[in-house]
Amino acid sequence: MNRFTRFSSWAVLAGTLTVGASAASAQQQLIEASKNPGQWVMPGRTYDLQRHSPLKQITTANVKDLQVAWTFSTGVLRGHEGNPLVIGHVMYVHSAFPNKVFALDLSKPGAPQIWQFTPEQPADVIPIACCDVVNRGLAYSPKYDRLFIELLSGDLLALDAKTGKQVYRVKSADYKKGETMTNAPLVVGDVVVTGISGGEFGVRGRVTAFSAVDGKELWRGYSTGPDKDVLITANTLKSPYPSDQGTDLGVSTWQGDQWERGGGTTWGWYSYDPDLNLFYYGSGNPGVWNPDQRPGDNKWSMSLWARNPQTGEVKWVYQMTPHDAWDYDGVNEMVLFDKDGKKLLAHFDRNGFGYTLDRTTGKVLVAEPYGPVNWATKIDLTTGRPVEDPSKRTNAKGNTQGICPAAIGFKDQQPSSYDPETGLFFVPTNNICMDYEGVEVKYSAGQPYVGAIVRMFPGPGGNRGAVIAWDPMKGKIVWKDQENLAAYGGTMNTAGGVVFYGTMEGWLKAVDAKTGKLLWEFKTPSGIIGSPMTYVGPDGKQYVAVLSGIGGWAGIGVAAGIGAEDPTAGLGALGAFGDAGHYSNQGGVLTVFALPGAAKP
């Protein structure tokens, strides 16, 4: 059977799963779908979020010959994060607000549109989004042949993948209280797990699960509050760290009722281990950036979580940055990998440390800086807590200067990737530091609840970003490719030995996974803050696709038209990226690449 026949057979299967007599569970169907190397059926391709493709038509030797195959405009000019999905012969593309969804026919020249859906949303949700009106992508259920997207205004939307018709739309968040939704959902069997944004509006962070069948809410687990709200139970593992042990720490580590507006939002990426039946995610900053207003560890903000997707029950939780004073959101992805018989995960936190944990217990095995960190000297592996430099702890008594990293972190939402062959992670990073001054602020529902003045600026060396190769067992950088602006798009690596990533100037680059040597680059219409992906078309050829459209926190000046006169504007981003408009204009274009000629057997 040739490659085209295999792919076409799968396309037929994907379209008939909902009516077939398969005895496989909904969860197993999605796992099996992700094993097809020609498809990309989840945000990270597979549940582990490795963003590694087994495809190898495109190699280090021939990637220099890549050329544009076709393009597609979303018609939206804001930040485009995430990546398309490819299921059978159809590509599904999402946009920034108003969160359009498109189905494109890959079997026809130029991939014409099959359908598009534009959900109605109120325009007054736009200023509620703290750092651009982005969306990180779609989730798919093969059992029901449905797509799921979280809408900025706070709803979970389910669409029929064949027709684009709405199946249901259910409310999960209230934007009038400052709650928005930007992350990609996670589908596990008949469960759809969603997150929430709004840490700068004093919201109470949570994850909420809905039925893939009818949208009924199944459970809700909060980041703060009593154990019964957080869903910490008698089955939750005892933390190996004393400061994470105890009852109702989500209340007792706050002053008074501050936990009720305590942040800990959940807008990052979600991974899942089918063997352990646990999904993993991080929670963000505690409510109000001024640390003087919320004494205590402020649990469970800034934490890594493992939960049961069917019940929401917490298996373990580990707080990385107690009593955060820098806005080091802990939402970045947790990539699952196995090494020497151990089930591990890696997490590159905004606080500048790269963590390797035992994902069965939450115990930290490695924690080393992947950038020039100066707010802490190390992570104490005995206590699990950072050893801080007191001179870099911010407060409302003055302006604390020269803190590295800045609030945007040495890495923000842009996802890393993992190569199981080399055992290396490819991490897109920022090199930004800051001055930070806490200010008194009062809470009012639906109004900004920040409480800090931040000015960001380039870190040591002057370059504002880099892509690094990271050894997760040694906690060491193997190679580094510096970038002028932040490397604010995700990475993707392939069995062909190539790592792809985009830049804020709009370059899609291909580098050698072993050395970081630049092999190829192409200038797309706008800055790239999305993530590359790859698939096999019905013609048997390997394609690479990426969304361009500058925005996000780093590109908010261009995306929202904010001038660079005030370096503290955009929550401090304009101080570091006020010149981004010199390098890129607004956009919203998907660019797809392939090697010339017919597919080679």
What type of residue sits at position 346?
Answer: A
What's the CA dihedral at 504, 507, 510, 513 to 10 degrees? Answer: -20
Please write down the HEC assignment for all residues of 159-171. EECCCCCEEEEEE
In angstroms, the first-to-last Cα distance of the chain is 11
Chain Cα centroid distance, residue 15: 28
Read out DSSP for 300-331? Answer: TSSEEEEE-TTT--EEEEEESSTT-SS-----
Torsion 117-491-346-56 (CA) sign: positive
- Which residue numbers are catalytic? 327
- Give the closest residue to 414 by CA, choosing from 520, 553, 316, 508: 553
Contact 472, 366 (CB under 8 A): yes
Sheet with 217-222, edge to edge strand ranges? 186-188, 191-194, 206-211, 217-222
Q: Note whether 500 and 544 are within 8 A (CB).
A: yes
- By the 8 A CB rule, do 345 and 317 touch? no
The Cα–Cα gap between 434 and 400 comes to: 9
CB 544 within 8 A of CB 533: yes
Integer Cα distance of 513 and 511 in angstroms: 6
Least Cα distance to 76 among 7, 10, 152 occurs for: 152
Residue with token string 């069917």 = 310
Ordered DSSP codes for 213-232: TT--EEEEEESSS-HHHHT-
- C-alpha 173/C-alpha 257 separation (Å) is 21
Strand partners, 357: 345, 364
Distance CA 404, CA 150 (A): 33
Distances (CA, A) of 569 to 113, 124, 561, 564, 577: 39, 20, 11, 8, 10
Cα 519 to its chain centre, rounded Å, is 26
Largest CA distance in the chain: 71
Q: What is the DSSP letter of 132?
A: B
**Sheet hosting strand 314-319, strand order edge to edge:** 271-273, 278-282, 303-307, 314-319
